[in-house]
Protein backbone atom coordinates (compact mmCIF):
# COMPACT_ATOMS: atom_id res chain seq x y z
CA UNK A 1 0.00 0.00 0.00
CA UNK A 2 2.82 2.36 1.01
CA UNK A 3 4.63 1.32 -2.16
CA UNK A 4 1.59 2.15 -4.31
CA UNK A 5 1.34 5.56 -2.62
CA UNK A 6 5.02 6.29 -3.30
CA UNK A 7 4.57 5.38 -6.98
CA UNK A 8 1.49 7.58 -7.20
CA UNK A 9 3.48 10.49 -5.76
CA UNK A 10 6.28 10.00 -8.28
CA UNK A 11 3.72 9.82 -11.07
CA UNK A 12 2.01 13.03 -9.92
CA UNK A 13 5.36 14.83 -9.75
CA UNK A 14 6.24 13.69 -13.26
CA UNK A 15 2.78 14.73 -14.49
CA UNK A 16 3.52 18.26 -13.33
CA UNK A 17 7.09 18.35 -14.63
CA UNK A 18 6.68 16.48 -17.91
CA UNK A 19 2.99 16.89 -18.67
CA UNK A 20 3.17 16.18 -22.41
CA UNK A 21 4.94 12.85 -22.19
CA UNK A 22 3.42 11.64 -18.90
CA UNK A 23 -0.11 12.53 -19.97
CA UNK A 24 -1.99 11.23 -16.92
CA UNK A 25 -2.50 12.33 -13.34
CA UNK A 26 -2.51 8.83 -11.88
CA UNK A 27 -0.99 5.48 -12.82
CA UNK A 28 -3.47 3.06 -14.43
CA UNK A 29 -5.73 1.15 -12.03
CA UNK A 30 -5.90 -2.65 -11.81
CA UNK A 31 -8.94 -3.06 -14.11
CA UNK A 32 -7.31 -1.00 -16.85
CA UNK A 33 -3.99 -2.84 -16.40
CA UNK A 34 -5.79 -6.20 -16.69
CA UNK A 35 -7.60 -5.14 -19.85
CA UNK A 36 -4.35 -3.94 -21.44
CA UNK A 37 -2.58 -7.20 -20.58
CA UNK A 38 -5.49 -9.32 -21.74
CA UNK A 39 -3.63 -11.15 -24.50
CA UNK A 40 -0.58 -12.00 -22.39
CA UNK A 41 -0.58 -15.66 -21.36
CA UNK A 42 -3.23 -16.66 -23.87
CA UNK A 43 -2.64 -18.91 -26.81
CA UNK A 44 -1.86 -16.18 -29.25
CA UNK A 45 -1.98 -18.27 -32.44
CA UNK A 46 -5.22 -19.84 -31.29
CA UNK A 47 -6.64 -16.33 -30.92
CA UNK A 48 -5.45 -15.36 -34.37
CA UNK A 49 -7.17 -18.41 -35.87
CA UNK A 50 -10.36 -17.83 -33.91
CA UNK A 51 -10.48 -14.17 -34.86
CA UNK A 52 -11.41 -15.07 -38.41
CA UNK A 53 -14.14 -17.43 -37.22
CA UNK A 54 -17.39 -16.73 -35.37
CA UNK A 55 -18.19 -16.86 -31.70
CA UNK A 56 -15.18 -16.29 -29.47
CA UNK A 57 -16.38 -16.22 -25.92
CA UNK A 58 -15.39 -12.94 -24.28
CA UNK A 59 -13.30 -13.22 -21.13
CA UNK A 60 -15.07 -11.70 -18.13
CA UNK A 61 -13.99 -8.23 -17.13
CA UNK A 62 -15.41 -5.16 -15.39
CA UNK A 63 -15.96 -3.47 -18.67
CA UNK A 64 -18.42 -2.66 -21.38
CA UNK A 65 -17.22 -4.27 -24.53
CA UNK A 66 -17.81 -3.38 -28.14
CA UNK A 67 -16.70 -6.29 -30.27
CA UNK A 68 -15.81 -5.20 -33.78
CA UNK A 69 -14.06 -8.42 -34.63
CA UNK A 70 -13.95 -9.01 -38.35
CA UNK A 71 -12.01 -11.14 -40.74
CA UNK A 72 -8.35 -10.33 -40.40
CA UNK A 73 -7.08 -8.00 -43.12
CA UNK A 74 -4.09 -10.31 -43.35
CA UNK A 75 -6.04 -13.51 -43.79
CA UNK A 76 -3.84 -16.03 -45.51
CA UNK A 77 -0.69 -14.78 -43.82
CA UNK A 78 0.48 -17.61 -41.60
CA UNK A 79 0.16 -16.70 -37.92
CA UNK A 80 3.73 -17.54 -37.10
CA UNK A 81 5.04 -14.18 -35.90
CA UNK A 82 8.27 -14.45 -33.98
CA UNK A 83 6.97 -17.22 -31.80
CA UNK A 84 8.59 -20.58 -31.16
CA UNK A 85 6.93 -23.74 -29.89
CA UNK A 86 7.68 -24.84 -26.36
CA UNK A 87 6.20 -27.36 -23.95
CA UNK A 88 3.26 -26.01 -21.97
CA UNK A 89 4.08 -25.30 -18.36
CA UNK A 90 1.92 -24.05 -15.48
CA UNK A 91 -1.09 -23.83 -17.78
CA UNK A 92 0.51 -21.16 -19.98
CA UNK A 93 0.36 -20.98 -23.75
CA UNK A 94 2.66 -23.32 -25.70
CA UNK A 95 4.16 -20.34 -27.45
CA UNK A 96 7.10 -18.27 -26.41
CA UNK A 97 5.88 -14.71 -26.72
CA UNK A 98 7.94 -11.60 -27.25
CA UNK A 99 6.13 -8.84 -25.42
CA UNK A 100 6.80 -5.11 -25.72
CA UNK A 101 5.41 -2.52 -23.31
CA UNK A 102 5.75 1.10 -24.36
CA UNK A 103 5.51 3.83 -21.71
CA UNK A 104 5.34 1.63 -18.58
CA UNK A 105 5.69 4.61 -16.20
CA UNK A 106 5.88 3.25 -12.63
CA UNK A 107 4.79 -0.21 -13.84
CA UNK A 108 1.14 -0.94 -12.99
CA UNK A 109 0.56 -2.60 -16.36
CA UNK A 110 4.01 -4.21 -16.25
CA UNK A 111 3.06 -5.89 -12.97
CA UNK A 112 -0.02 -7.36 -14.62
CA UNK A 113 1.96 -8.52 -17.66
CA UNK A 114 4.50 -10.23 -15.39
CA UNK A 115 1.71 -11.93 -13.48
CA UNK A 116 0.36 -13.45 -16.72
CA UNK A 117 3.59 -14.05 -18.63
CA UNK A 118 4.72 -17.57 -19.44
CA UNK A 119 8.00 -18.96 -18.08
CA UNK A 120 9.80 -18.46 -21.38
CA UNK A 121 8.18 -15.25 -22.59
CA UNK A 122 10.33 -12.14 -22.81
CA UNK A 123 9.36 -8.57 -21.98
CA UNK A 124 10.97 -5.38 -23.32
CA UNK A 125 10.04 -2.14 -21.57
CA UNK A 126 10.57 1.13 -23.43
CA UNK A 127 10.33 4.22 -21.26
CA UNK A 128 11.81 7.61 -22.09
CA UNK A 129 11.61 9.15 -18.59
CA UNK A 130 14.71 8.11 -16.65
CA UNK A 131 13.04 8.67 -13.28
CA UNK A 132 10.38 6.11 -14.22
CA UNK A 133 13.16 3.82 -15.46
CA UNK A 134 14.76 3.98 -11.97
CA UNK A 135 11.44 2.95 -10.40
CA UNK A 136 11.16 0.02 -12.83
CA UNK A 137 14.73 -1.11 -12.15
CA UNK A 138 14.11 -1.00 -8.44
CA UNK A 139 10.91 -3.02 -8.73
CA UNK A 140 12.74 -5.59 -10.84
CA UNK A 141 15.29 -6.06 -8.07
CA UNK A 142 12.93 -5.93 -5.12
CA UNK A 143 9.55 -7.47 -5.96
CA UNK A 144 9.34 -11.29 -6.05
CA UNK A 145 6.85 -11.32 -8.94
CA UNK A 146 9.24 -9.19 -11.00
CA UNK A 147 12.38 -11.07 -9.91
CA UNK A 148 10.87 -14.33 -11.17
CA UNK A 149 11.11 -13.02 -14.75
CA UNK A 150 14.04 -10.62 -14.31
CA UNK A 151 16.42 -12.45 -16.64
CA UNK A 152 13.87 -12.13 -19.47
CA UNK A 153 13.00 -8.48 -18.90
CA UNK A 154 14.93 -5.66 -20.62
CA UNK A 155 14.45 -2.00 -19.80
CA UNK A 156 15.27 0.49 -22.55
CA UNK A 157 15.53 4.13 -21.54
CA UNK A 158 14.67 5.77 -24.86
CA UNK A 159 11.71 6.97 -26.93
CA UNK A 160 9.92 4.18 -28.77
CA UNK A 161 10.74 5.92 -32.04
CA UNK A 162 14.38 4.89 -31.46
CA UNK A 163 13.87 1.25 -30.52
CA UNK A 164 15.39 -1.20 -32.97
CA UNK A 165 15.07 -4.97 -32.87
CA UNK A 166 16.08 -7.89 -35.04
CA UNK A 167 13.04 -9.88 -33.95
CA UNK A 168 9.44 -8.66 -34.05
CA UNK A 169 7.06 -8.62 -31.09
CA UNK A 170 3.93 -10.77 -30.70
CA UNK A 171 2.21 -8.52 -28.19
CA UNK A 172 2.62 -4.75 -27.93
CA UNK A 173 1.01 -2.86 -25.06
CA UNK A 174 1.17 0.90 -25.11
CA UNK A 175 0.48 3.44 -22.38
CA UNK A 176 1.54 6.39 -24.55
CA UNK A 177 -0.58 9.54 -24.19
CA UNK A 178 -1.14 9.89 -27.95
CA UNK A 179 -3.61 12.75 -27.51
CA UNK A 180 -0.79 14.95 -26.19
CA UNK A 181 1.35 14.52 -29.29
CA UNK A 182 1.40 16.17 -32.70
CA UNK A 183 -0.33 14.37 -35.58
CA UNK A 184 3.06 13.74 -37.20
CA UNK A 185 4.35 12.15 -34.01
CA UNK A 186 1.26 9.97 -33.57
CA UNK A 187 1.57 8.78 -37.17
CA UNK A 188 5.32 8.11 -36.73
CA UNK A 189 4.79 6.19 -33.47
CA UNK A 190 2.01 4.03 -34.92
CA UNK A 191 4.15 3.37 -37.97
CA UNK A 192 7.01 2.33 -35.68
CA UNK A 193 4.72 -0.03 -33.73
CA UNK A 194 3.61 -1.63 -37.00
CA UNK A 195 7.26 -2.07 -37.97
CA UNK A 196 8.05 -3.74 -34.65
CA UNK A 197 5.09 -6.13 -34.88
CA UNK A 198 5.12 -9.76 -35.98
CA UNK A 199 2.37 -10.93 -38.35
CA UNK A 200 -0.89 -11.18 -36.34
CA UNK A 201 0.67 -9.35 -33.38
CA UNK A 202 -1.73 -7.81 -30.89
CA UNK A 203 -1.48 -4.12 -30.12
CA UNK A 204 -3.43 -3.01 -27.04
CA UNK A 205 -3.57 0.63 -25.94
CA UNK A 206 -5.88 2.95 -24.08
CA UNK A 207 -7.24 6.44 -24.17
CA UNK A 208 -9.49 8.17 -21.69
CA UNK A 209 -13.18 8.22 -22.59
CA UNK A 210 -14.21 11.31 -24.59
CA UNK A 211 -10.80 12.87 -23.98
CA UNK A 212 -10.50 14.49 -27.41
CA UNK A 213 -14.03 15.92 -27.22
CA UNK A 214 -13.41 17.23 -23.69
CA UNK A 215 -10.08 18.83 -24.62
CA UNK A 216 -11.56 20.33 -27.78
CA UNK A 217 -14.14 22.23 -25.73
CA UNK A 218 -11.46 24.25 -23.97
CA UNK A 219 -8.72 24.76 -26.52
CA UNK A 220 -7.94 27.04 -29.43
CA UNK A 221 -8.30 26.25 -33.10
CA UNK A 222 -4.78 24.84 -33.73
CA UNK A 223 -5.24 22.41 -30.84
CA UNK A 224 -8.70 21.43 -32.08
CA UNK A 225 -7.22 20.77 -35.51
CA UNK A 226 -4.46 18.67 -33.95
CA UNK A 227 -7.00 16.60 -31.98
CA UNK A 228 -9.19 16.17 -35.02
CA UNK A 229 -6.13 14.98 -36.99
CA UNK A 230 -5.36 12.39 -34.28
CA UNK A 231 -8.99 11.27 -34.38
CA UNK A 232 -8.66 10.67 -38.13
CA UNK A 233 -5.40 8.75 -37.77
CA UNK A 234 -6.86 6.51 -35.06
CA UNK A 235 -10.15 6.01 -36.88
CA UNK A 236 -8.22 4.67 -39.89
CA UNK A 237 -6.25 2.32 -37.64
CA UNK A 238 -9.44 1.07 -35.97
CA UNK A 239 -11.22 0.53 -39.27
CA UNK A 240 -8.34 -1.56 -40.57
CA UNK A 241 -7.08 -3.48 -37.56
CA UNK A 242 -9.28 -3.23 -34.46
CA UNK A 243 -10.80 -6.54 -33.35
CA UNK A 244 -12.18 -5.53 -29.97
CA UNK A 245 -12.50 -2.65 -27.54
CA UNK A 246 -13.59 -2.43 -23.94
CA UNK A 247 -14.70 0.46 -21.81
CA UNK A 248 -13.11 0.35 -18.38
CA UNK A 249 -15.37 2.28 -16.06
CA UNK A 250 -13.48 1.22 -12.94
CA UNK A 251 -10.60 3.59 -13.66
CA UNK A 252 -9.95 7.24 -12.87
CA UNK A 253 -10.75 8.52 -15.40
CA UNK A 254 -12.66 5.79 -17.31
CA UNK A 255 -10.82 4.55 -20.38
CA UNK A 256 -11.30 2.77 -23.67
CA UNK A 257 -8.91 -0.09 -24.33
CA UNK A 258 -8.41 -0.83 -28.01
CA UNK A 259 -7.15 -4.20 -29.24
CA UNK A 260 -5.74 -4.25 -32.77
CA UNK A 261 -4.40 -7.21 -34.68
CA UNK A 262 -1.53 -5.93 -36.80
CA UNK A 263 -0.42 -7.32 -40.15
CA UNK A 264 3.27 -7.17 -39.19
CA UNK A 265 6.13 -5.86 -41.20
CA UNK A 266 7.10 -8.04 -44.10
CA UNK A 267 10.85 -7.46 -43.43
CA UNK A 268 10.67 -9.84 -40.51
CA UNK A 269 9.06 -12.73 -42.37
C1 LIG B 1 0.01 7.89 -19.48
S2 LIG B 1 1.61 7.40 -18.85
C3 LIG B 1 1.25 5.66 -18.67
C4 LIG B 1 2.08 5.01 -17.62
C5 LIG B 1 1.69 3.57 -17.26
N6 LIG B 1 1.68 2.71 -18.43
C7 LIG B 1 0.34 3.53 -16.61
O8 LIG B 1 -0.59 2.98 -17.23
O9 LIG B 1 0.21 4.03 -15.50
C10 LIG B 1 2.60 7.50 -20.34
C11 LIG B 1 4.01 6.96 -20.21
O12 LIG B 1 4.61 6.97 -21.51
C13 LIG B 1 5.95 7.46 -21.42
N14 LIG B 1 6.30 7.99 -22.75
C15 LIG B 1 5.81 9.10 -23.35
N16 LIG B 1 6.30 9.23 -24.59
C17 LIG B 1 7.11 8.16 -24.81
C18 LIG B 1 7.88 7.71 -25.92
N19 LIG B 1 7.93 8.41 -27.04
N20 LIG B 1 8.57 6.55 -25.80
C21 LIG B 1 8.52 5.84 -24.64
N22 LIG B 1 7.81 6.20 -23.55
C23 LIG B 1 7.11 7.36 -23.63
C24 LIG B 1 5.87 8.49 -20.30
O25 LIG B 1 7.12 8.81 -19.76
C26 LIG B 1 4.93 7.78 -19.33
O27 LIG B 1 5.63 6.91 -18.50
CA of 68 relative to ligand 1 center, distance in Å: 27
Cβ of 135 less than 6 Å from ligand 1: no
What is the Rg, in whole angstroms, of the alpha carbon atoms belonging to the chain? 18
In order of start, what are the domains of the chain with their CATH numbers?
A: 2-268 (3.40.50.150)
Ramachandran angles phi, psi of 167, nearest 5°:
-135, 135
Q: Tell me which of 109, 155, 161, 175 to substitute to probe ligand 1's pocket, judged by most ligand atoms within 8 Å of the beta carbon.
A: 175
pLDDT at 51: 54
Q: For ligand 1, what atom is nearest to the CA of residue 21?
A: 15
pLDDT at 95: 78
pLDDT at 71: 38
CA of 57 relative to ligand 1 center, distance in Å: 31
CB 259 within 8 Å of CB 237: no
The sign of the CA dihedral 154, 140, 136, 37 is positive
pLDDT at 92: 56
pTM: 0.85
The sign of the CA dihedral 159, 160, 162, 163 is positive
pLDDT in tens, the chain (269 residues): 777 788 888 888 888 888 788 888 889 999 999 999 999 987 655 655 555 544 333 333 445 555 554 433 333 333 444 555 444 445 555 679 999 999 999 999 999 999 999 999 999 999 999 999 999 999 999 999 999 999 999 999 999 999 999 999 999 999 999 999 999 999 999 999 999 999 999 999 999 998 888 888 888 888 899 999 999 999 999 999 999 999 999 999 999 999 999 999 755 54
How many Cα atoms occupy the beta-carbon half-sphere of 190 within 13 Å?
A: 25
The sign of the CA dihedral 187, 63, 208, 11 is negative
Cβ of 105 less than 6 Å from ligand 1: yes
Cβ of 23 less than 6 Å from ligand 1: yes
CB 51 within 8 Å of CB 243: yes
Amino acid sequence: MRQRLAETQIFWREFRQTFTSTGAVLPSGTSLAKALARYVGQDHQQHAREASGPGIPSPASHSHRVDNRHTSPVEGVPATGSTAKAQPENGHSEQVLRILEVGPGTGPVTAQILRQMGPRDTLDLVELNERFVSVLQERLQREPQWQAHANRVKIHCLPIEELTTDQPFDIIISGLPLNNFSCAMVAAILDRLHQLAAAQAMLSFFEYVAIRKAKSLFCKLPQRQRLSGIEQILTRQFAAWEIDRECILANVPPAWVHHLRLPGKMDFQ
